Structure 1
């Protein structure tokens, strides 16, 4: 939990600095994260403690310059390496994307259900409902969840709408047992 709070603070700071410098930090971190995910060697250098801070900095300097990363993001990544906090980069990246999405006026969320796929009609209805309720455009992705017997569970950040049969049965059970 502490790492999540720290990651959120770092992400907010990075976004604010990047906005002042007119830099798209979300895009730059997306490019860097994609490269790290493609290269096991780069991932090992950055996240394993076998390498010294100097070795990590040398590799990062070369990688970041080839990617055309701005000085704001370069300094931020260098700070994480020097403070031995590079391990929370994935959490920071996630928070940066969430903040960037908010700034652009939309949210990301998931719809979970037992079906192998979701009808476009239901997805459109849910997107419109969330836009009316939250005032922001929502980008929803569907995930099949074998733990759901029937119905759907929609999660957008900390909002969860659970219209699954399992949830309804649990509520019914609680109401019967509490009487």
Structure 2
């Protein structure tokens, strides 16, 4: 997977640079999300990887699905990906693009796992605390995970804040083994 991200990053950087210059970040974000969703669809993968379909047929199909989202730059980008056999990188390109966009907008994403559902007040408090800690606007992605037993585990980039009961039990078990 690291190799795919490595190959996808220059494409994402090029698209991000173009989108920044032309002030079309949101349009590119939308188009890339659609393109990534298309190549994640098993039916589309079957069409894209089937040698019976020409590159022009694949391109025409994808542009038809994109509709108005496909401006001239998007069309050229899609053609380049197809020509270089990099179409299946689209989900990674879209993901990298969103990371560049969030960084420029001073936004950080936090994945939060909780043993029990959080109230809106708890989410607001957690968002505020994390925003102060990271000095950025925080977007929460909250998911329930009963395996945590209690508490929360927060992932922000490479940082892990584990205040779950399961995490504390694992830390205790590790210290007892030493």
Q: Same fold (TM over 0.5)?
A: yes
What's the counterpart of residue 150 of structure 2?
150
What's the counterpart of residue 29 of structure 1?
32
- Report the more deviating stretch, 22-31 or 73-82: 22-31
CA deviation vs aligned residue, 1:15-55 (integer Å, no higher than 9, x gap):
01221222221122234446x38976555433x33433232
- Structure 2: state its 5+ residue gaps: none
CA distance in 1, matches of 2:89, 2:39: 15
CA distance in 1, matches of 2:35, 2:156: 26
Output aligned runs, 1:1-179, within 5 Å. 1-24=2-25, 25-33=28-36, 36=38, 42=44, 44-46=46-48, 48-50=49-51, 51-64=53-66, 66-115=67-116, 117-178=117-178
CA deviation vs aligned residue, 1:62-111 (integer Å, no higher than 9, x gap):
444x2242222221121111111111111111121222122222122221
**TM-score, normalisation: structure 1:** 0.84
* SS of the residue 1:154 aligns to: strand
**TM-score, normalisation: structure 2:** 0.84
* SS of the residue 1:112 aligns to: strand
- Report the more deviating stretch, 132-141 or 55-64: 55-64
- Indicate how the Cα distance of structure 1 residues 97 and 174 shifts in structure 2: closer, same or farther if over 3 A, else same: same
Runs of at least 4 residues off by over 3 Å: 31-34, 37-44, 60-64
CA distance in 1, matches of 2:5, 2:92: 7
Q: How far apart are residue 57 of structure 1 and its match?
A: 2.3
* SS of the residue 2:148 aligns to: coil
- Indicate how the Cα distance of structure 1 residues 41 and 84 shifts in structure 2: closer, same or farther if over 3 A, else same: same
CA distance in 2, matches of 1:61, 1:171: 52
CA distance in 1, matches of 2:163, 2:63: 49
- Structure 1: state its 5+ residue gaps: none
